[in-house]
A = this chain, B = another copy of it.
Amino acid sequence: MAALSSGVLGALDPTSDRAVFRQIADQVREAIDKGRFKEGAKLPSEAELVEHFGVSRMTVRNALSILQSEGLVSSEHGKGVFVRPRPPVRRLASDRFARRHRDQGKSAFTVEAEAAGSKPEVDSLEVREEKPAPDISARLGSPRKVLARRRRYLLDGRPVEFAVSYLPLDLARGTQIAEPNPGPGGIYARLEELGHRLDHFDEEVRARMPSPAEVKMLRLSSGVPVISLIRTAYDTEGRAVEVCDTVMAADAYVLAYQLPAN
C-alpha cells in the first residue's frame, strides 16, 4: 500500500503509556486531519495495518472502531474502511429566507442542493391536524390545535433532514397551506398572501446524539450526531406564525450565518 510505504503512518512508540490501539488511532486520525488520507479515500486494509504495525487483528479493529465512533471513517461491508466526506451542503441562513427567493418559487433546499452538486428530493410528506407538544405550543402562543407538515429531505437518494412545520390551525385550515403541495414559494409565500407579512426568523441550534428513530429515519452511521434546529417565523405584528422543528444529519451540513457588527 502506497500510504504505508511512503511513511504516512509511522512506527509505534514502545515506551509510551498510551495503549497500542490508541496510538494507531492517533496516527490514522492525524493523517486524516492533515489530508494525507483524503475524503472518501480507502484506508489501508486490516491486514496491511496488522503487518505495518506488527500487532494483532483485534488491536487494529479496536483502533478503527475508535475512529468510527468519532465519525471520521465509515466501514463499508466487504469493501473496507473509508474516510468520511466533510459536510457537502452549505445552508446559508441569512439568504435562504429572502423574499426574492420566495418570489421566484424555488425552495431554499433546492438552491443549496444544486450548489453542492446534489439532486434534491422530498419524500414521506404528511399533513395533518394535531394537538401540539408543550414546547411547540408555547412558541406559537398556545393554540389548541396546529397543522403539522412533516417531510424528509434527501440528497442523491440519501436522507439528510427531517422537518416538521407547525402552524396555528386558525391560520392554516382551509388554505393551500393545508394541501400537500402548498404552491410556488411554499408556505411562507402563502402566509404572506394571507396578510401575515414576515418580519424575521429566530433559529435555535443544538447538537446531540440521535434517537434510534432518528438513526433509522436518516440512516445515520455510528458516530454521527444530529443538529437540531428550531426556527420560529414572526409576522410584522410580532405574532409567531410557524415553528419548524428540524433534525439534520450533522455530516451532511454546514450552517452558515452572517451577522452585522453594528
Which of A's residues lie within 8 Å of B, judged by CB?
Answer: 22, 25-26, 29, 35, 66, 69-71, 87, 93-94, 97-99, 134, 188, 198-212, 223-227, 233, 250-251, 253-262
Inter-subunit contact A253/B206 (CB<8 Å): yes
Known: A202-B257, A209-B223. 11 other contacts (CB 8 A): A35-B134, A70-B211, A71-B209, A94-B259, A188-B261, A199-B260, A201-B259, A202-B256, A203-B257, A207-B226, A209-B224
Inter-subunit contact A250/B225 (CB<8 Å): yes
Measured CB to CB, the closest approach of chain B to A245, in angstroms, equals 13
Instruction: Chain B residues near A227: list those with CB within 8 A.
Output: 205, 207
Inter-subunit contact B99/A258 (CB<8 Å): no
Bound complex: CA of A119 vs CA of B199, how far in Å?
35
Inter-subunit contact A208/B225 (CB<8 Å): yes
Q: A70-B211, A251-B208 are in contact. Are A200 and B257 (CB under 8 A)?
A: no
Inter-subunit contact A225/B202 (CB<8 Å): no
Bound complex: CA of A258 vs CA of B94, how far in Å?
9
Q: Which interface residue of A200, A204, A207, A225 has the most chain B CB atoms within 10 A?
A: A207
Q: A207-B207, A207-B225 are in contact. Are A93 and B259 (CB under 8 A)?
A: yes
Instruction: Chain B residues near A207: list those with CB within 8 A.
Output: 207, 225-227, 250
Inter-subunit contact A212/B87 (CB<8 Å): no
Q: A93-B259, A259-B94, A261-B200 are in contact. Are A209 and B233 (CB under 8 A)?
A: no
Bound complex: CA of A202 vs CA of B200, how far in Å?
19
Inter-subunit contact A204/B259 (CB<8 Å): no
Measured CB to CB, the closest approach of chain B to A235, in angstroms, equals 9
Bound complex: CA of A253 vs CA of B207, how far in Å?
9
Measured CB to CB, the closest approach of chain B to A203, in angstroms, equals 4
Give 26 A-B contacts (CB < 8 Å), ordered by A residue.
Answer: A22-B212, A26-B212, A70-B208, A70-B209, A71-B208, A71-B209, A93-B259, A97-B261, A98-B262, A99-B261, A199-B260, A200-B261, A201-B258, A202-B256, A202-B259, A203-B256, A205-B205, A205-B254, A205-B255, A205-B256, A206-B255, A207-B250, A208-B251, A209-B223, A209-B225, A257-B259
Inter-subunit contact A206/B250 (CB<8 Å): yes
Which of chain B's residues has its CB closest to A197's CB?
A: B261
Bound complex: CA of A224 vs CA of B226, how far in Å?
11
Bound complex: CA of A249 vs CA of B149, how far in Å?
32
Bound complex: CA of A204 vs CA of B94, how far in Å?
12
Measured CB to CB, the closest approach of chain B to A141, in angstroms, equals 18
Which of chain B's residues has its CB closest to A236's CB?
A: B261
